[in-house]
Amino acid sequence: MSAQFIIEATQVHKTYHTGAVTVPALRGISLGVQPDYRARRMGFVFQFYNLLPVLSAVENVELPLLVSGVKPREARAIEALAQVGLAHRPNHRPAELSGGERQRTTIARALVNKPAIVWADEPTGDLDSETAHEIMDLLTQLNTEAGLTFIGIGVNARRSARRMTTLPSG
């Protein structure tokens, strides 16, 4: 696969079904993905945090660095926690954090690899309205001050967006 592509599809075909008629159109698809791109250049924030309960906040934030083979990890993870206002909670496990602190830990994990883009799927959907507002303010601040690009889905994301695109039927 060429290094200039993130995803490369070759030998693409497709099958269409119309009533009793089947038309094979895709039979030889070959899909390749740059193996390190997602781990090194994208961050992800999820509605339900997806933090490992047996790991501390700093260890959860270190996970993308571990997957990417980046060292040293702990200093960068602590820096990312500080960026979201959690420098004082690195050794706390998710059960010892509030919902807002868990989401900030998730955001720190998304930022630790210094991504080109952060995908946020309902980042405030599991939070009370006050905490949701704080999280959206944090994402807006990171966008404004650090130039980070966030692509978000959700009501609060819609309210905070500087630019919005609608994807119909998808």
Q: What is the pLDDT of residues 4-57, one digit of tens each?
A: 666 677 776 677 777 888 877 666 667 666 767 777 788 888 877 889 999 999
Tokens of 82: 């500080």
Q: Fill in the DSSP letter of residue 43.
A: E
Tokens of 135: 């999280």
**What three-state secondary structure class fits 23?**
strand
For the whole model, what pTM was predicted? 0.72
Q: Which residue has the tokens 């994402």?
A: 139
**Sheet-wide strand order for 42-46:** 42-46, 117-121, 150-153
The separation between the first and the last C-alpha atoms of the chain, rounded to the nearest angstrom, is 28
pLDDT > 70 fraction of the chain, expressed in percent and rounded: 79
Q: Which fold has domain 36-160?
A: Rossmann fold (3.40.50)
pLDDT digits (tens, 9 = 90+) for 53-73: 999 999 999 998 888 888 888
Residue spans of the domains in the chain: they are 1-34, 36-160
Q: Average model confidence (pLDDT) for the chain?
A: 81
**Bridging pattern class, strands 150-153 and 117-121:** parallel
